[in-house]
Amino acid sequence: MCGIAGSLGTPTTDPSSLVDNVQRMIASLVHRGPDDGGIWADPSGAICLGSRRLAIVDVSAAGHQPMPSASGRYVVALNGEIYNHRSLRARLERSNDAPAWRGASDTELLTAAFDAWGVDATLVACVGMFAIAVWDRCDRRLTLARDRIGEKPLYFGRFGGTWLFGSEIKALAAHARFERAVDPSALASYMSLGYVSAPQAIFDGVRKVMPGTFVKLDARSDDVRETSYWSLAEESKQAVRHDLRDREAVDELEALLVQAVSEQMIADRPLGALLSGGIDSSSVVALMCAQRSSSIKTFSIGFRESSFNEAQFAARVAAHFGTDHTELYLDADDVRDTIPLLPRIYDEPFADISQIPTFLVSRLASGAVTVALTGDGGDELFGGYPRYAMGAKLWPTMRRIPRALRPSLGRMMASAPGAIDHAFKWAFPHDEDSGVRGLRPAQKLGKLGRAVGSRDLGSLYWQLLAPWAEPTLVDARAAGSPFPSDRPGLVAKTVEEDFMLRDLAGYLPDDILAKVDRASMAVSLESRAPLLDHRVIEFALRLPFEMKFRGGVSKWLLRELLYRHIPKHLVDRPKMGFGIPIGSWLRGPLKPWAHDLIGSSRDDVSRMLDLTALRRMLERHASGVGDWHQPLWTALMFLNWARGLDDPESERAPEAPVRMAGIDPPDRLSV
């Protein structure tokens, strides 16, 4: 695991400035790679690649990055892991394409595969989570590639005629040419969803490389050549339904997950798992324990408030499998102490409330292990979110209403108090799981009305996904569309499958995986998600929905697999999520912090948000007039992030070795 960064511009006669800028860029990423650092600069002075390394596989100096290929044609900086690198090595050796290996790192494997097969074919062959920068010294092009589902982040943008890229925005911001200007449409997206939807980033001019995609950049052009080497849309379109009996489906899923867990347990550093006690993480821990005789280390977070506390369930699962289990109970002081760290951790405003326990459990785990497996992806692949059933219930009725009439009907519903209880209980039978817990009846009906007012299925999805949709706090001059454009080409047979595909394409990488990556890497912990192995994803796409949701039970197939390893009563319980009691804390111990943050906001920020409305919302929440914790937290996290704009100084890292020469010019390459 590493952090990568660099720049690509026109050739310069002063390569020292090129190196100095990239030195600052990778210095900001020391948390992602505390073990080693390196810089490689092309003799032409056009491009400079940098890397910070967290050594996991082959911890020796043979894994130092950036790494040239044996031919000298390619120079590679890798963030992530290629889980099948051993089998790819064997494939190269069988075909006599292998170089004289210097070590056993997956980065060296990549350089050899690029020499033998080219960049495009190598990406297709790789199983893993990664963000890769590859400089081709023959074609003079930079390729930036991201893994299939978006576990690893990669940002890029062109400033002052220079392309900048990095694992985090802070790396780009450390370059002298970077310009800090908030993108108003990205802010509008954030205020609706609680995260900035890709390919946008919070700063104007910065983009995210999309999952399953590589982009090619040329120093002489603003053009971005974007190519998908793996497409969720294509996979959904070509998916042929499995004709499997129940037991056969469980057998196949288990075989795939055993393979994924086995590959992801390969590490030369201590390894453990984050355990909530739910279906997803318990399944991963079960398969880990089945493959290792020694005790697995597991970690969980708990709360004194029983409605938010999952630690008791995690402890039962840990006891059943005999793991070496550690848990930590949190209170409001832990949250208050963590809040100032969030802008530095996430770089963009980010309002998923589980960001705090995710960071704290990562910090807990990092004291004992360097790698932790997680259960991320289970909900999106196997039908775990209540909004899937909600959409399936609402949409057939809505389709019978003319599109032009739906918005008016939605507004009328919000003004009909007598219909509140009946309509809401019909649409949202699982109130605790619907994301509207604690809302007053009028607020509940307002949410239902906005859903009914959706003109199409995509709009309905966004309305159900959005954690809140009260009158916006974004200044009208800054607001754009509250929701991002639909991802084209997704093919689904049911409403539930449509919503799951939308989650896989957007919500999963932009929210869930971004949250886990930043939280874990902030404490130099590598997180791995076996459920997101692309072979598991492709299998799940071919499953009929009845194997995911059956008899009112979500994640049916994954549960059946887990029941082979653990008694049902230890894991069968209502879904809780990984939240914190932020609503009650904003009425009590966090209220002074919220008042101070609103009152001390920068002038330019006050022009982007309606701070008067925000203060009024805080007072209404504190007095018990409704539960406004989600819009409050969303706005407060933006203000908290904006406060960090006043302190752009990057973290400093030890000086990294610099490679300025030693590779033949392009006309003498052996390729």
Residue 341 belongs to domain with CATH number = 3.40.50.620
What does the pLDDT read at residue 463?
A: 86
What is the pairing mode between strands 271-274 and 371-373? parallel
Q: How confident is the prediction for the chain on average, in pLDDT?
A: 87
What does the pLDDT read at residue 450?
A: 76
What does the pLDDT read at residue 330?
A: 84
Last residue of a domain, one of 185, 205, 230: 230
Is 636 exposed, middle or buried, given 0-12, 13-18 or 19+ CB atoms closer than 10 A?
A: buried
What is the sign of the dihedral through the CA atoms of 611, 613, 618 and 622? positive
283 and 335 housed in the same domain = yes
User: How is the beta sheet containing 36-41 ordered, strand by strand?
Assistant: 206-208, 155-159, 162-166, 2-8, 47-53, 36-41, 658-659
Q: Does an H or E element contain 324, and which?
A: strand 324-330
pLDDT digits (tens, 9 = 90+) for 427-446: 555 543 344 444 455 556 66
On the question of a cis peptide bond just before residue 441, with omega within 30 degrees of 0, the verdict is no
395 and 511 housed in the same domain = no
What does the pLDDT read at residue 436?
A: 44
Q: Do the domain assignments include residue 660? A: no
CATH number at residue 59: 3.60.20.10
For residue 669, is pLDDT > 50? Answer: no
542 and 462 housed in the same domain = no
d(CA 419, CA 416): 6
Q: Do the domain assignments include residue 495? A: no
Last residue of a domain, one of 570, 603, 622: 570
412 and 533 housed in the same domain = no
40 and 95 housed in the same domain = yes
141 and 80 housed in the same domain = yes
What does the pLDDT read at residue 552?
A: 87
d(CA 150, CA 130): 8
For residue 656, is pLDDT > 80? Answer: no
Please count the structural domains in the chain.
4
Question: What is the SS3 assignment for 289?
Answer: helix
Domain of 155, in residue numbers:
2-230
What does the pLDDT read at residue 435?
A: 43
For residue 255, is pLDDT > 50? Answer: yes
Contact between residue 201 and residue 348 where contact means Cβ atoms under 8 Å apart: yes
Last residue of a domain, one of 523, 542, 570: 570
415 and 436 housed in the same domain = yes
293 and 197 housed in the same domain = no
What does the pLDDT read at residue 109?
A: 96
Q: Does an H or E element contain 5, and which?
A: strand 2-8
What does the pLDDT read at residue 303?
A: 78
For residue 640, is pLDDT > 80? Answer: yes
SS (H, E, C) 63-99: HCCCEECCCCCEEEEEEEEECCHHHHHHHHHHCCCCC
Q: 211-220, 373-382, 439-448: lowest mean pLDDT where?
A: 439-448
For residue 308, is pLDDT > 90? Answer: no
What does the pLDDT read at residue 296?
A: 96
Contact between residue 554 and residue 560 where contact means Cβ atoms under 8 Å apart: no
For residue 189, is pLDDT > 90? Answer: no
pLDDT digits (tens, 9 = 90+) for 34-43: 999 999 998 8
Q: Do the domain assignments include residue 413? A: yes
336 and 403 housed in the same domain = no
- 651 — pLDDT class (breaks 50, 70, 90): very low
The residue that leads in pLDDT, 441 or 168, is 168
pLDDT digits (tens, 9 = 90+) for 71-104: 999 999 999 999 999 999 999 999 999 999 999 9
* Tally of CA atoms within 13 A in the half-sphere of 515 that contains its CB: 23
217 and 300 housed in the same domain = no
What does the pLDDT read at residue 633?
A: 93
d(CA 129, CA 528): 8
For residue 564, is pLDDT > 90? Answer: yes
Q: Do the domain assignments include residue 575? A: no
- From residue 127, alpha-carbon distances to 211, 214, 531, 596 in Å are 14, 15, 13, 47
User: How is the beta sheet containing 271-274 ordered, strand by strand?
Assistant: 324-330, 297-303, 271-274, 371-373, 526-528
What does the pLDDT read at residue 652?
A: 47
Q: CB under 8 Å to 416, separation ≥6 — which residues?
A: 445
Q: Do the domain assignments include residue 576? A: no
Q: CB under 8 Å to 9, separation ≥6 — which residues?
A: 18, 46, 47, 161, 162, 163, 219
d(CA 534, CA 540): 10
d(CA 427, CA 430): 9
Q: Do the domain assignments include residue 493? A: no
Q: What is the largest CA-CA distance in the chain?
A: 81
Fill in the amino acid letter for 520: S
What does the pLDDT read at residue 182?
A: 92
d(CA 143, CA 39): 17
Q: 176-180, 308-312, 658-662: lowest mean pLDDT where?
A: 658-662
pLDDT mean over 397-410: 82
What does the pLDDT read at residue 440?
A: 52
Q: Do the domain assignments include residue 494? A: no
478 and 542 housed in the same domain = no
Q: Do the domain assignments include residue 67? A: yes
For residue 253, is pLDDT > 70? Answer: yes
Q: CB under 8 Å to 441, separation ≥6 — which residues?
A: 417, 420, 421, 424
* Plot region of 128 (φ>0 → left; ψ -120 to 50 → alpha; else → beta): left
566 and 599 housed in the same domain = no
